[in-house]
Amino acid sequence: MLYKTRGIVFNHIKYSETSLIVTIYTERYGRQAYIVNGVRGKKARIKANMFQSLFLLNMEVYYKPNRDLQRAKEIQNVFIFTSMPYDLKKSTIAIFISEILYKTIQEQEPNQELFDYLFTSIQMLDIKDKGLSNFHIYFLINLSKYLGFFPSNNYSDTNCYFDLKAGSFMQLKPMHKSFLDKDLSVIFSKMLLFSDDQHADLKMEHKERTLLLEKIIEFYTLHNEGVKDIKSLNILKEVFN
């Protein structure tokens, strides 16, 4: 049987001369891998450029439980991006976010709240005209809520060190190295309270932003075993330098 679902592109790899294997997070089935044939020919119905990082799709698919590779009959763009594929900073953020999602989201089952968060955030990235420097940091903080390890925001004048292992603020500097210093802890506590627009106005020095991002990725590695060696991180740093 054929089923309709929306999807978000996480990753694609070349498979033969004309085909791709595409990892897509679907609204109906969670994470799935699809083999898409004949995407490189001039007469291809489904074009290879539809599978760029975080592209949003409408899909008509075949589904068989516990199958490693699924097949799709129809795939179309559900949202036409006006800036993300053409803006260097936005496209780099998209590549970085898609790598994080590819490594953290493994469940082959629906999660409507997570799907809605991703779908809306990707659209926001495309239409944003300011605050890009903080977008990916704010995104990662909020994503942890849906992955099950959102930090406890118990910050105060006394609880002024964020312990990455414990996921909460502590009175004393931890004995290990996985923590935020007092200055970064203040910034981090503010971001935990922000709405979707407020992060754009948060001022940080480049060095602070880079260190905070590195520490948030470290936070992910401590709480999600899939996050290792984020290859796009260095590119992201270079673009925002």
Kindly state the average pLDDT of the residues 75-103.
Answer: 95
In a domain, 155, yes or no: yes
The residue among 77, 96, 130 that closes a domain is 77
Same domain, 123 and 233: yes
CATH number at residue 96: 1.20.1440.120
Q: Give the residue with greater pLDDT, 129 vs 26.
A: 26
Same domain, 6 and 97: no
> How far is residue 7's CA from residue 114's CA, in Å, rounded to a whole number?
12
CATH number at residue 27: 2.40.50.140
In a domain, 30, yes or no: yes
Write out the residue range of the structural domain in which residue 192 sits: 88-239
Same domain, 65 and 105: no
Same domain, 178 and 100: yes
In a domain, 159, yes or no: yes
Tell me how many domains the chain contains: 2
Same domain, 139 and 214: yes
In a domain, 124, yes or no: yes
Same domain, 135 and 224: yes
In a domain, 193, yes or no: yes
pTM: 0.94
What are 217's two structure tokens? 């990725």
Residue 63 pLDDT = 94
In a domain, 83, yes or no: no
Same domain, 130 and 214: yes
Q: How many CB atoms lie within 10 A of CB 226?
A: 13
> How far is residue 216's CA from residue 213's CA, in Å, rounded to a whole number?
5
Alpha-helical (H) ranges within the chain are 88-104, 112-127, 132-147, 182-191, 206-223, 233-239
Same domain, 13 and 45: yes
pLDDT at 40 over 80: no
What are 71's two structure tokens? 């097949």
Same domain, 183 and 118: yes
Same domain, 41 and 122: no
Same domain, 124 and 221: yes
In a domain, 200, yes or no: yes
- pLDDT-based confidence at residue 200 (cuts at 50, 70, 90): low
In a domain, 93, yes or no: yes
What are 120's two structure tokens? 């809306």
pLDDT per residue as tens digits for the range 115-157: 999 999 999 999 988 778 889 999 999 999 999 999 999 999 9
- pLDDT-based confidence at residue 37 (cuts at 50, 70, 90): confident
Same domain, 93 and 211: yes
> How far is residue 53's CA from residue 94's CA, in Å, rounded to a whole number?
6
